[in-house]
Structure 1
Amino acid sequence: METKERLVVYDCDIGTDDAWGLAMMLRAEELPALPGGRSSKVVAITTVQGNTDVVNGTLNALRILHTLDRRDVPVFKGCADPIVPRTWAYTNRFHGVDGLNDVGNYPEVSLEQELQPEHAVNAMYRLANQHPGQVDFLLCGPLTNFANCINLYGQAFLDMIGGVYMLGGNMYAKGNVTKSAEFNFMMDPEAAHITLERVPRPALVVPWETCIDGDFGITLDWRLNDLGSVDHPFVQLLTRVERSMLEPRGFQKWISCDALLTATYLFPGEMIADQREYYATVELNGTHTRGQMVLDHLRGRKVDAIHGKKSNVRIVRRLNGEPFRTIIAWTGFLKQADIAQLIV
């Protein structure tokens, strides 16, 4: 039976989008209750290669914790490389080399003093076994850590996990790092394939199209100049980073995909407008389609038409914009944000 207190492993490749999601998770711990009377607690931040290398991503996790005055949250460094070495070089670093667009003037952190000595993969296994069925995994980056935990510990790990929540993949082959592959899946296609094949219950997936095609009504101007006016170290750091990233590229809208996943995890009834179960896998060999998440649209929901496999994902096809605006304003410490209206 699922307990009301959920423990969360936040697996990330920080990145501004991961940073917003992490801040949201930590702010949620301050609420008296989440919808349905649940509560959540981040028991580990695990880092992985992706937006930047794993060392920079780990430094960024610690930096974000410093801005939020939450140095009590343990950080575990994870996998530096994908399961199969890439034959291509990822040179279009959207988040800069260091993951925070190289803006500098960060909080001073120390890997030697603040980083947990245990590897992220081992921490995932240990926490799941210490709290059977209670640990949920929010997977906001490439799935390398989670897949390696499956490979290393197998059913002894899978039998103990709670829910699995992923930001990544695509419904209709719309890519953002190649013409048909989404970034998190393309940065480690084998890890995504392993994860989808082995999850014991359908994982909730927020794919790329749901993020970019959704109407969330948040302009970049509001993000930088209204929310960005909040006098808080976290908001001020993220505003410096996002101003340097997004204004020169001419962005008009602001979205944060990992924050969308996190909001969906915390407030599912309020955020999810439409979802459907599918059997999903990942293309590993296609010349043009490696890394693409492939859904069985022939049977739609329950069983893969060719292989007879049951659904393994709940694809969130549409999200509600109005609650997300409230949640992100509250995450950014905007005083007029009324988060209480979302808690029933």
Structure 2
Amino acid sequence: MADTCASDYDSFVVYDCDIGTDDAWGLAMLLRAEGLRIAGRKSFKVAAVTCVQGNTSVENGTLNAFRVLSTLERLDVPVFEGCADPIVPRTWVIKSHFHGLDGFSDVGDYPTVNADDLRSEEHAVNAMYRLACQHPGKVDFLLCGPLTNFACCINLYGDKFLDKLGGVYIMGGNILGKGNVTKSAEFNFMMDQEAAHIVLERLKQPALILPWEPCIDGEYGLTLGWRLNVLGAVKHPFVELLTRVERAMLVPRGFEKWVSCDALLTAAYLFPQQMIADEREYYATVELCGVHTRGQMVLDHLRGRFVDAIHGKTKNVRVIRRLNAEPFRTIISYTGFLPQADIDMEKLCRDEQQQS
């Protein structure tokens, strides 16, 4: 894609991720949507992919980012390697690697990329700050992995960074205490609890959060059979790679539904009117000291009905509680190059603009 003057864009996106399959779907969705006219804005540009520890090591995640971009013929998108470890060293051991050791279920036979030539020497944290300074108020951050990079940028640059942010969108946390890595903590928040706490405490405008429960409990009508046999039949390098990975990852575990949490957040970012069925503002924080609840996102469900005499906190998050299924199927079909999906996507863009 030819480079364009910054004034040609209404907004820029930094996609912060720990690339496994769900991050890969979200990134592909963003890149597919770059040329669409959504909700009346001129256009947006993916300014950077920043990588962090999480589903796999930051080195593997960075390499996976290049692999995804290669399949999409978008190696023009800058990729920045970020934090390799959480802010506070872990005292617990990760016993299960859901995405395999390399983030792609260790299936091998990946697209050949020379990461050493492509990887920027600039650290992801510094790249986040630089881009916010270059485009103040116009850079949206989609945070689809542990929040280490973003929290470190806040700690390093403080208000000079916070005052220049556009929107902040987070996939992580939970609203009912349902965990997926411990009995009460969601993976992204648990992989760096201090980072999640810093981000929620320091932001000056409410972040939009998609927690774990609306993803896993929502009925999106997407079966694993549809994913592997219908969407998976598309002859495109990106789809073929992700189909091999997801087949190896999900079939042996007996999954019947197909859910991609980071893609759901990205769809909600792109099409908020169509995707978000229910959201509410809360004050949220992260439990750091609980024996059984460390890493859990805690919401003030009183929501201002009574004065919090201890903390006196104001609402700092907009929490998505329910998403719509039908538009997501259209968006993910378009993302996966499914034939005829372009027609449905054009209608979705028109509907989004009319409702915005």
- TM-score bin, normalised by smaller chain: over 0.9
Q: Distance in 2 between matches of 1:312 and 1:75?
A: 30
Q: Distance in 2 between matches of 1:218 and 1:53?
A: 29
Q: CA, structure 1 residues 77+340, in 2 after alignment: closer, same or farther (shift >3 Å)?
A: same
Per-residue deviation, 1:6? 1.3
Match of 2:293 in 1: 289
Task: Choose the corresponding residue for 1:198, options 186, 198, 202.
Answer: 202
Per-residue deviation, 1:305? 6.3
Structure 2 residue 168 is matched with structure 1 residue 168: no
Task: Choose the corresponding residue for 2:50, options 43, 46, 50.
Answer: 46
Structure 2 residue 246 is matched with structure 1 residue 242: yes
The secondary structure found in structure 2 opposite 1:93 is coil
Q: Distance in 2 between matches of 1:180 and 1:38?
A: 42
Task: Choose the corresponding residue for 2:84, options 76, 80, 87.
Answer: 80
Structure 2 residue 73 is matched with structure 1 residue 69: yes
Q: CA, structure 1 residues 302+93, in 2 after alignment: closer, same or farther (shift >3 Å)?
A: farther
8 Å contact 2:223–2:257 — kept in the other structure? yes
Structure 2 residue 346 is matched with structure 1 residue 340: yes
Task: Choose the corresponding residue for 1:14, options 7, 14, 19.
Answer: 19
Per-residue deviation, 1:307? 1.6
Q: CA, structure 1 residues 211+13, in 2 after alignment: closer, same or farther (shift >3 Å)?
A: same
8 Å contact 1:168–1:206 — kept in the other structure? yes
The secondary structure found in structure 2 opposite 1:174 is coil
Q: CA, structure 1 residues 61+304, in 2 after alignment: closer, same or farther (shift >3 Å)?
A: farther
Deviation sequence 1:284-306 (CA, Å, 0-9, x none): 01010000000001236897564
Task: Choose the corresponding residue for 1:265, options 265, 269, 273.
Answer: 269
8 Å contact 1:279–1:301 — kept in the other structure? no
Match of 1:29 in 2: 34
- Unaligned runs of 5+ residues in structure 1 are none
Q: Distance in 2 between matches of 1:66 and 1:297?
A: 45
The secondary structure found in structure 1 opposite 2:320 is strand
Q: Amino acid of the residue matched to residue 10 of structure 1?
A: Y
Aligned length: 341
- Unaligned runs of 5+ residues in structure 2 are 1-7, 351-356
TM-score in terms of structure 1 length: 0.97
Q: CA, structure 1 residues 273+302, in 2 after alignment: closer, same or farther (shift >3 Å)?
A: farther
Q: CA, structure 1 residues 303+321, in 2 after alignment: closer, same or farther (shift >3 Å)?
A: farther
Q: Distance in 1 between matches of 2:18 and 2:130?
A: 21
Deviates further, 155-164 or 334-343: 334-343
8 Å contact 2:9–2:45 — kept in the other structure? no
Q: Distance in 2 between matches of 1:333 and 1:302?
A: 50
Q: Amino acid of the residue matched to residue 277 of structure 2?
A: A
Q: Distance in 2 between matches of 1:91 and 1:342?
A: 42
Q: Distance in 1 between matches of 2:309 and 2:81?
A: 40
Q: Distance in 2 between matches of 1:133 and 1:183?
A: 29
Q: CA, structure 1 residues 287+180, in 2 after alignment: closer, same or farther (shift >3 Å)?
A: same
Per-residue deviation, 1:309? 1.2
Structure 2 residue 121 is matched with structure 1 residue 117: yes
Q: How does 1:96-111 map to 2 (within 5 A)?
A: 96-111=100-115
Q: Distance in 2 between matches of 1:264 and 1:157?
A: 25
Per-residue deviation, 1:188? 0.1
Deviation sequence 1:141-182 (CA, Å, 0-9, x none): 000000000000000000001000000000010000000000
Q: Amino acid of the residue matched to residue 348 of structure 2?
A: L
Q: Distance in 2 between matches of 1:176 and 1:40?
A: 33
Q: Amino acid of the residue matched to residue 340 of structure 1?
A: E
Q: Distance in 2 between matches of 1:123 and 1:303?
A: 40
Match of 1:185 in 2: 189
Per-residue deviation, 1:110? 1.7
The secondary structure found in structure 1 opposite 2:313 is coil
Deviates further, 276-285 or 331-340: 331-340
Match of 1:127 in 2: 131
The secondary structure found in structure 2 opposite 1:285 is coil
Percentage identity across aligned positions?
Answer: 72
Q: CA, structure 1 residues 53+304, in 2 after alignment: closer, same or farther (shift >3 Å)?
A: farther
Q: CA, structure 1 residues 112+305, in 2 after alignment: closer, same or farther (shift >3 Å)?
A: same
The secondary structure found in structure 2 opposite 1:276 is strand
Match of 2:353 in 1: none
The secondary structure found in structure 1 opposite 2:11 is strand
Deviates further, 167-176 or 38-47: 38-47
Q: CA, structure 1 residues 78+219, in 2 after alignment: closer, same or farther (shift >3 Å)?
A: same
8 Å contact 1:48–1:77 — kept in the other structure? yes
Per-residue deviation, 1:35? 2.0
Deviation sequence 1:202-260 (CA, Å, 0-9, x none): 00000000101111000000000000000000000000000001011010000000000
Q: Distance in 2 between matches of 1:298 and 1:332?
A: 42
Q: CA, structure 1 residues 207+111, in 2 after alignment: closer, same or farther (shift >3 Å)?
A: same
